[in-house]
């Protein structure tokens, strides 16, 4: 007597669940949820960059009392150069995820990365 591990209906259900999981993985991402970088000087927003759409190098030099160079490229943004003494802003590194922040206090310049949509819903 031969016992089957799966019936025909079981295989169809398993295949449907796997197909749905694959589709939701690729379709679930939209431009609305992608990170956006906001550059502000002295509390005022001077530039907004959609990091998802940045492929080539963009150089941003906001007006401030210090010479600052900010680079956006390949979905990341960072302080490339600053005339401030401690250079903590430059050592902050590349920002790409929602919630990342880099600050140059002497120049009163802040880069904030935020997602423009809900990342997840928890019940």
Residue 6 lies in a domain: no
Residue 45 DSSP SS3: strand
Which CATH number fits the domain that encloses residue 43? 2.60.320.10
- Answer yes or no: is 50 within a domain: yes
Domain assignment of residue 46, yes or no: yes
Of 94, 89, 91, 83, the closest CA to residue 105 belongs to 89
Range of the structural domain that residue 49 is part of: 31-115
Read off the pLDDT of residues 40-53 as tens digits, 9 standing for 90 and up.
999 999 999 998 88
Count: domains in the chain: 1
Mean pLDDT by groups of 10 residues along the chain of 123 residues: 75 88 71 79 91 88 89 93 91 91 92 72 53
Q: Does 23 fall in a domain?
A: no
* Residue 12 is assigned to a structural domain of this protein: no
Specify if 120 maps to a domain.
no
Query: pTM here?
Result: 0.68
Q: Is residue 47 part of a domain?
A: yes
Q: 15 lies in a domain?
A: no
Closest CA to 69 of 18, 107, 115: 107
Q: What is the DSSP letter of 32?
A: G
Q: Which two tokens stand for residue 59?
A: 């150089």
């Amino acid at each position: 007597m031969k016992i089957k591990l799966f019936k025909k209906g079981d295989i169809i259900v398993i295949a449907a669940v796997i197909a749905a999981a694959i589709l939701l993985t690729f379709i679930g991402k939209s431009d609305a949820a992608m990170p956006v970088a906001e550059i502000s000087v002295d509390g005022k927003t001077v530039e907004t960059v959609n990091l998802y759409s940045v492929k080539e190098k963009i150089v941003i030099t906001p007006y401030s009392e210090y010479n600052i160079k900010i680079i956006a490229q390949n979905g990341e943004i960072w302080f490339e150069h600053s005339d401030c003494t401690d250079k903590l802003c430059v050592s902050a590194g590349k920002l790409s995820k929602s919630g990342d922040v880099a600050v140059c206090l002497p120049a009163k310049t802040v880069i904030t990365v935020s997602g423009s949509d809900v990342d997840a819903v928890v019940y």
